[in-house]
Structure 1
Amino acid sequence: MADLGIDMLAAGIGNIHGKYPAGWPGLRFDVLEEINNSVNGLPLVLHGGSEIPEDMIRRAISMGVSKVNVNTECQLAFTAATRKYIEEGKDLKGKGFTPRALLAPGLEASKEVAIKKMQLFGSVNKA
């Protein structure tokens, strides 16, 4: 791996992009262990980290994962909050139709997800 000049490695260990289907069997920690043992400390990335149970995320981090992608979760929170704002008719009151007002609930919801994930990942107050 070092000869390739890569900084991080993202490998499939049962993770998928987007929403996970019912009956998803979970992450393959046996595969993660094999990969981690063969990359000489190269940081590992978990793509498709949205909606993976917290205990699995913690375990993956303890086994060498140093970056977890959770954009789907942020997007779902953004969409739900924006939808609620519109369904409640807030876009029809005053200047509620402006992009700043219309998008504010979604941005706040996405931010809340990001903060919770940073706490879960142990990355709060780290560069």
Structure 2
Amino acid sequence: MALITSKKMFQKAYEGKYAIGAFNVNNMEIIQGIVEAAKEERSPLILQVSAGARKYARPTYLKKLVEAAIDDTGLDVVLHLDHGENFEICKQCIDDGFTSVMIDGSKHPFEENIELTKKVVDYAHKRGVVVEAELGKLAGIEDDVNVSAKDATFTDPDQAVEFVERTGVDSLAIAIGTSHGAYKFKGEPRLDFERLEKISHMLPEFPLVLHGASTVIPEFVDACNKFGGNIPGAKGVPEDMLRRASKLGVCKINIDTDLRLAMTAAIRKYLVESPDVFDPRKYLGKGRDAIKDMVKHKIKNVLDSSNTL
């Protein structure tokens, strides 16, 4: 099969009222676990690369690994740049063969965000690449994204309509209460569904995106801590809230933190229980299995995208 864009994928998800999982990748085992899960569940798939992943694994290695996964599984895959901070990074990824890029101009004033996004859109569309942008600011920390709670702002519905019309962007990441990384606040996680419904109503059949949508499953935090970790208690987005969002125009849900927790918990457990093992294939294999199990869980219980290929 091939690297594809998300255009038809999102259209089908919108009509079917489910979401596509956009899973962050950093190495071979993570990619293998994700694509094996998607193949078994017959689910569409987006693999996305963050700034941190580009620095760690280098873009050429990641792209070749994704191409190998396509050859191995026969899946069509969207290769997406997550949180491109400027035009140059987006251009580089487009030129390198990515089929989708995100330009994150949310830190800029509204007009500057529009100008930057439009520049990326113009370059990408001429080359058959789709573009995601962000309006509003999510709190939290993940790779190179760092926004304090006081600087977080929810997406304004009227601005969202104007932004989409003036930029020609293909999808829009909105801020309605999710958080990068894990929730670290006093109250319970809450999504502003009234705001989401209004945006979806004002932008009919337009794909919306949720960042910071990991559930932060307690058992994996506990497992990491049991086997030598010191990860503070955290709250993620309840799965029923994410399922509800997918019925209201959210076509893409980003998942990263839960993958990290699942893989880390599995590797720590194996190394503690098998202290004499020094073969990386042994413990990385356990991590790959944990990734696969987590992705299958997300596809079936959060995204509702099983058997939609």
Instruction: Please tell me the TM-score bracket, short chain as reference.
Output: 0.7 to 0.9
Matched with 1:53 is: 238
Which residue does the alignment assign to 1:77? Answer: 262
Show structure 2 runs of 5+ residues with no match: 1-163, 216-236
- Is residue 33 from structure 1 mapped to residue 189 from structure 2 by the alignment? no
Give 3-state SS (helix, strand or coil) of 2:257's partner. helix
Runs of 4+ in 1 over 3 A off after TM superposition: none
Structure 2 distance, partners of 1:126, 1:2, is 30
Offset at residue 32 of structure 1 (A): 0.7
Q: 1:12 maps to which residue? A: 175
Structure 1: runs of 5 or more not aligned: none
What is aligned with 2:285? 104
TM-score (norm 1): 0.87
**Once the 2 structures are TM-superposed, how far is the Cα of residue 2 of structure 1 from its aligned partner?**
4.5
Superposed displacement of residue 3, structure 1: 4.7
Across the two proteins, how many residue pairs are aligned to each other?
123
TM-score calculated relative to the size of structure 2: 0.38
Alpha carbons of 1:3 and 1:78: their partners in 2 closer, same or farther (altered >3 Å)? same
**In structure 2, do the counterparts of structure 1 residues 7 and 91 end up closer, same or farther at CA, with 3 Å as the change threshold?**
farther
**CA offset at residue 66 of structure 1?**
1.0
- 8 Å CA contact retained: 1:91, 1:102: no
Higher strand share: 2
CA apart distance, 1:4: 2.0
SS in structure 1 opposite 2:209?
strand
8 Å contact from structure 2 (residues 243, 304) kept in 1: no
